[in-house]
Amino acid sequence: MSPRTQTRPQAQSADYGPESAAMAAYLQAGEARAHALGNRGPIRRDGDGNVHPDILEAYWRCGFYVFEDVLGAGELADIEADLKRIMARLPLEKGAAVDRRGRPALGADCQAPTLFWSKPLGDPFGGTDLANGRHPVKMIEPRAADGTPDEVVYLILGSLQFSDACLRAYGHPDLLAVAAAINGDDFVPFTDAIFIKEPGLGASVAWHQDGTTHWDTEMWDQGCHGFNFMGQLYGSTPANGVWVVPGSHKLAKADIRAKVTAAGSERLPDAVPIICKPGDVAITNRQALHGSFANTSPDWRVTLNMGFHRRASVLNVEAGGIHNSVAVYDAARIKERSRVIGYAIDARHQRFGDETPFEYRPFAASGETYTWDDAARQGMHDYNLLDLSI
Ligand SMILES: O=C(O)CCC(=O)C(=O)O
């Protein structure tokens, strides 16, 4: 059953009109290129218990990796139940204070940017100055079926305050081990989100590179803007998934306009789709050139984004302006924002008691402990005002 079933009839899938044949060929060719990359498999450890070096090699070579079978059936069921609750509590329409049943709407009392709306199959960021103008070219906006809503929510920031199941996924010991292997034992949070790409409605996210702060500075290297985990509730296909240009995280800032002009369309010829089953979790370098097309397919994609940085990339750095206000990220702010890691580890331990919880070194060193309870849940309100957005 889709998350919409209780609230609105299933949207119809749509198509790319005159571009449909070219799009279908592009999706098929991209899928073949993706499978040839050698950057997917379960999270494996070496004899010392470290994340297997082959995984790290493939991640750094490609700029993304697909970890297979990370979230089990029970965990996915929890996430789906929370997703349904979240969708049932969305505002009746953009700006409304109440949901369909007149209850206070989700996010209506948040100060932080929380809900992002788009017209069906639209591209709200492409070709605009939004988010520091990092999405310079608008994607094709296919025509949605008659009877679809004027606008839908396609992105929810600060998502961990709305879902214990998402918080528990954030505390997954294997994912946090990967975060430590890539960003160092003192890794820190970035931001968290849910992308919702409904069939026949889901918006494009135009081609972009996420990092904004360290380009053209001496801090720059292939990992200095961190990464996002992208956990998949229903899987991710060439038609509804994120596409990445492999290796682009190693290069200077891409000239996206020139690439699109050279390609003759937004179908960048060297990009590949992130293909996942339900429960797979991709990791994508934030410097990689990536984007997603409007979801004209019949398949839902719901992605839990969980971002992490190197501590050295954010400490005492002035940044912000996209996910939160511009500020200097001092040690006190980093510590306050990092408590989410502690809550997530404890929340996960309460639900999955037979797993060995991840030990986050900064807490082990300082002796701090975190308990996930009602007081902690209330303290998470608007936690993303403190995102570490670089
Ligand atoms: O999930 C998507 O469609 C876009 C994700 C993305 O662009 C991002 O996480 O930066």
135 Cβ inside 6 Å of ligand 1:
no
Nearest CA to ligand 1 atom 10: 210
Q: Which tokens go with 52?
A: 């297997």
Is the residue at 1 inside a domain? no
Atom of ligand 1 nearest to the CA of 195: 1
Atom of ligand 1 nearest to the CA of 286: 10
228 Cβ inside 6 Å of ligand 1:
yes
By the 8 A CB rule, do 86 and 114 touch? no
Pocket test for ligand 1, best of 135, 157, 195 (most atoms within 8 A of CB): 195
**HEC-encoded secondary structure of the chain:** CCCCCCCCCCCCCCCCHHHHHHHHHHHHHHHHHHHCCCCEECCCECCCCCECHHHHHHHHHHCEEEECCCCCHHHHHHHHHHHHHHHHCCCCCCCCCECCCCCECCCCCCCCCCEEEECCCCCCCCCCCHHHHCCCCCCCCCCCCCCCCCCEEEEEECHHHCCHHHHHHHCCHHHHHHHHHHHCCCCEEEEEEEEEECCCCCCCEEEECCCCCCCCCCCCCCCCCCEEEEEECCCECCCCCEEECCCHHHCCCCCHHHHHHHHCCCCCCCCEECCECCCCEEEEECCCCEEECCCCCCCCEEEEEEEEECHHHHCCCEECCCCCCCEECCHHHHHHHHHHHHHHHHHHHHHCCCCCCCCCHHHHHHCCCCCCCHHHHHHCCCHHHHCCCC
CATH number at 179 reads 2.60.120.620
Is the residue at 327 inside a domain? yes
The domain tally of the chain equals 1
Is the residue at 373 inside a domain? yes
240 Cβ inside 6 Å of ligand 1:
no
Is the residue at 101 inside a domain? yes
Is the residue at 10 inside a domain? no
Q: For residue 241, report the distance from its CA to the centre of ligand 1, in Å.
A: 9
pLDDT at res. 9 = 44
Residue 358 Rama label (left phi>0; alpha psi -120 to 50; beta): beta
290 Cβ inside 6 Å of ligand 1:
yes
Nearest CA to ligand 1 atom 7: 291
By the 8 A CB rule, do 148 and 11 touch? yes
305 Cβ inside 6 Å of ligand 1:
yes
Nearest CA to ligand 1 atom 6: 291
pLDDT at res. 8 = 46
Q: Which tokens go with 179?
A: 């975060």
Atom of ligand 1 nearest to the CA of 307: 9
Is the residue at 48 inside a domain? yes
Q: Which domain holds residue 103?
A: 17-386
295 Cβ inside 6 Å of ligand 1:
no
Is the residue at 213 inside a domain? yes
205 Cβ inside 6 Å of ligand 1:
yes
292 Cβ inside 6 Å of ligand 1:
yes
242 Cβ inside 6 Å of ligand 1:
yes
210 Cβ inside 6 Å of ligand 1:
yes
Nearest CA to ligand 1 atom 3: 292
pLDDT at res. 23 = 95
Is the residue at 336 inside a domain? yes
Averages of pLDDT over runs of 10 residues in the chain (390 residues) are 51 80 96 98 97 98 98 98 98 96 97 96 90 87 93 98 98 98 98 97 96 92 97 98 98 94 97 98 98 96 98 94 86 97 98 98 96 98 96
pLDDT at res. 11 = 57
